[in-house]
A and B are shown apart, each in its own frame.
Chain A
């Protein structure tokens, strides 16, 4: 076999392997998307898939379900608030860590990363009792605050490199002009690190959007978010798989759009502490 022929064979084999991997990896996603367009009763009866049975009925049921709509609304509000809170507070802290010299600077930076990796199960029971005590249980504010426990350290870690990259000359010029530290942060640094803020915000939002355990324990009917509402569509006698798949598709769409749009930043975003709920 000639070299060129060998290359061709290898490339062919790799493409076949890639196609197989894709098939396996996308199959469950495909199942979710497809069954959202089937009715619960059709799925449960075990009928073979038929093109003619595709309908929007399950979506209609999901959008008419006031509890589900409320939960999705809560998810949006909690996601936006906790993103705004953690990006605001996190940007300040990242600036403080990367542009000041002080004792314990390294230790502080490290603790923020370790904080991001603490298991939620270790915190949630204590949070439940604290929130119950001060009346934050089942409130949008409470769950927002709980989500900031992972988003604030996450955002800080994402933003430190962006703040460090800003050249000193910007800072010096502004200081000569008599700029205060606060004005410097707001008027010089924030515009310069804007790309970092966008990336951090997107991932913080996804973190909050996907989160399940805090929402399960710390919320009830009022502040429940969509992941918990979706999980309640199945269980006991309720087996509304079609609605489950339809609601899941609604939740998945923004996440997939963001991740496909942000390929360049995925590794940094995920390695800094993940997309894990």
Chain B
């Protein structure tokens, strides 16, 4: 097993659309092991996508079970040929990327998603997820379509103002 080289922008391969996995064989599973080893090798990444190491296959790994403050999660997930089948809500959050060193930015993502995928043996999977984990999956799935978070960064001026009930301010005398 080896730690693979992470492609960095402006590598053209990061803009390619990845191919669906058709062969669920030992070679695929060995590659996934190396992909996971690569994810764990660098800065604390919660996910990695196959094209980030130059392999244009629809495979991602996501694991948000290790955040500073615990968030709802499904643990370590290998998603082969993943697809989002439903999404709901949106929220802004800060993202960075192993392929984009020394830059972070705000990105709007769906807050709830349902996904369909396959495991490394081709068995169908379904997940429903929210918040940070949903964000991580959307970030990784973008890689499979040749998109990076920097393609989606929004200005902080575009901030979505958090709706909340005014308890202290804005008392109107009506």
Task: Please say whether chains A and B are actual partners in one complex.
Answer: no
Residues of A within 8 A of B (CB): none
Residues of B within 8 A of A (CB): none
